[in-house]
Amino acid sequence: MTSTEFDHHSPEYARNWREINAGLRAQCPVAHTDAHDGFWVVSKHADVAEVARDDATFSSYQEFPDGSRTGATIPVSPLRQVPIEMDPPEFFDYRKLLNGRFSPAAVKRWEPFLRDITTFCIDNIIESGSADLVSDIASPVPAILTLELLGMPTAEWRTVSDVTHALVHTTPGTPENDTALGGMMGILGQINETIAARRAERKDDLISELVHTEVNGELMTDARLVEIITLVMLGGVDTTGSLIGSSLEWLRRHPDELKRLANDSSLLPKATEEFLRYFSPIPGLARTTTRACAVGGQALEAGERLFLSWSSANYDEDVFERPDEVVLDRYPNKHQAFGLGIHRCLGSNFARLQFQVVVEEFLRRLPDYVVDTDAAEPYPSIAVVNGWVSLPITFTPGPRLGSKFAL
């Protein structure tokens, strides 16, 4: 069997992604589907790794004479993101501009600020005894951090967060997605304003650095700057929040594991990797073949689209023992939740630190939280990000602690 009805945008996939992935791995590890003009789903850990490491054969971005193009998503997004949608050698010129501010050491310096934002968000709800884990904690923390990093007004976090949420969990071509794209146009306007302002007056933020940095001897165009900033924004705002929401929802249903993690924060780094594996916040990304080749024994022509299923690879029985279980201290844990190869997630160190700070503070201050599972609403489509629209919680009220951060 090489043909399936796989569609990562379908409601069935959002509900049953683990089962659908398992079926593909068992019966059809490189499967063709007619959805979205046809593409191949790559489901085995080894095959996904092989594709992700071969950028010459499997391209992340191509432009054609008729104006059409490929990219890292299926279907192609109208908003190009750079450098994730770019191939070597050009890719390296852009990735190295960004690496410095996303390195483990650079990210570590954000920890005090991150703790202040987290305290601020928890303070806002702690006296009330009820909240929405998504809109009150898991969304604002990454959104505020990302805007601060970029140099954009943090007071706008909710607009940015709402639009990116809607953008990722609606299906391209639907009115809901068009509305989200409209919202994104407004944010692009703000990005353009910030670019102009930082060009006139440099500050100590990422946008300032980018507008004053030359690539191959030339300053970048506004269009290119927007493509980079879009990547940082869309990569930073929705993904980490989804991991936080999914993990805290799971921990509430597994009280022994919750207690274990709350009592021993040294478990957090390995638990972070395990939650990344288990929830795979970005289920997969796309490549396009540049020449005839074979993947997992399946012959492919040039110009075919591939969906690399990180979320399937992360449950591959050939790599992970008991893949369907959360093993908080799993190691080795060669998950592909951040992708593999040269395009590996730029913001992974931010994601890990945010997850750890938020989970630590949350479990300390809301130890008896209860998730209203009947009212909890997962994303209707998980094609881009697998997360939650809302996760209502109740808890015993507590005192505000006060934070240096305020909006």
What strand order describes the sheet that includes 392-394?
130-132, 392-394, 370-371
| The binder of other proteins chosen from 5, 19, 26, 53 (CB under 8 A) | 53
Considering only the stretches 35-43, 97-105, 134-142, 145-153, report the one whose residues sit in contact with other proteins under the rule CB under 8 A. 97-105
Is 28 or 337 the residue whose CB approaches other proteins more closely? 337
Of 26 and 331, CB closest to other proteins: 331
Between 153 and 296, CB nearer to other proteins:
296
Is 335 a binder of other proteins (CB under 8 A)? yes
| Beta carbons of 179 and 189 less than 8 angstroms apart | no
H or E, element range at 231: helix 222-237
Q: Which stretch binds other proteins (CB under 8 A): 6-14, 104-112, 158-166, 182-190?
A: 104-112
Q: How far apart are CA 233 and CA 360, in angstroms?
A: 24
CB of residue 341 vs other proteins: minimum separation in angstroms? Answer: 6
Closest approach, Cβ 332 to other proteins, in A, equals 3
For other proteins, which stretch binds (CB under 8 A), given 24-32, 208-216, 336-344, 368-376?
336-344
Identify which of residues 105 and 299 has a Cβ nearer to other proteins in the complex.
105
Q: Which is nearer to other proteins, 320 or 369 (CB)?
A: 320
For residue 392, give the amino acid letter. P
With CB under 8 A as the contact rule, the residue among 113, 258, 334, 394 that binds other proteins is 334
Does 104 interact with other proteins (rule: CB under 8 A)? yes
269 interacts with other proteins by CB under 8 A: yes
316, 337, 322, 315: which is closest to 386 by C-alpha?
A: 337
Range 339-378, binding other proteins (CB under 8 A): 340-342, 344, 348-349
CB-CB contact of 243 with 291 (8 Å) = no
Q: Figure out which of the listed residues 2, 5, 19, 100 binds other proteins, where binding follows CB under 8 A.
A: 100
Residue carrying the six token digits 């489901």: 43
Q: How many CB atoms lie within 10 A of CB 265?
A: 14
Alpha-carbon distance of 180 to 234, in angstroms, equals 13
Give yes or no for residue 56 binding other proteins (CB under 8 A): no
In 3-state terms, what secondary structure has residue 63? strand
Cα of first residue to Cα of last residue in the chain, in angstroms, is 56
Nearer Cβ to other proteins, position 271 or 295? Answer: 271
DSSP H or E segment with residue 239: helix 239-253
**b (16+ CB within 10 A) / e for 60-69:** bbeeeeeeee
Among 26-34, 205-213, 266-274, 397-405, the segment contacting other proteins (CB under 8 A):
266-274
Closer residue to other proteins, CB minimum distance, 107 or 152: 107
Tell me if 296 sits within 8 A of 273, measured CB to CB.
no
Residue found under tokens 């993990």: 247
CA distance 360 to 329: 16
88 binds other proteins (CB under 8 A): no
From 6, 338, 350, 388, residue interacting with other proteins (rule: CB under 8 A): 338
Sign of the CA dihedral running 216, 220, 224, 229: positive
Is there a contact between 117 and 103 (Cβ–Cβ < 8 Å)?
Answer: no
**3-state secondary structure labels for all residues of 112-136:** HHHHHHHHHHHHHHHCCCEEEHHHH
**Residue 98 or 152 having the CB closest to other proteins:** 98
The piece of 18-26, 99-107, 150-158, 363-371 that touches other proteins (CB under 8 A) is 99-107
| Of 67, 89, 217, 332, the one binding other proteins by CB under 8 A | 332
Q: Where in 129-281 does DSSP place strands (E)?
A: 130-132, 214-215, 218-219
Stretch that binds other proteins, among 17-25, 183-191, 241-249, 332-340 (CB under 8 A): 332-340
For other proteins, give the closer residue by CB, 6 or 338: 338
C-beta of 236 vs 245, nearer to other proteins = 236
Q: Shortest CA distance to 24 belongs to which of 348, 357, 309?
A: 309
Q: Which residues bind other proteins (CB under 8 A)?
A: 49, 53, 96, 99-100, 102-106, 269-270, 273, 331-336, 338, 340-342, 344, 348-349
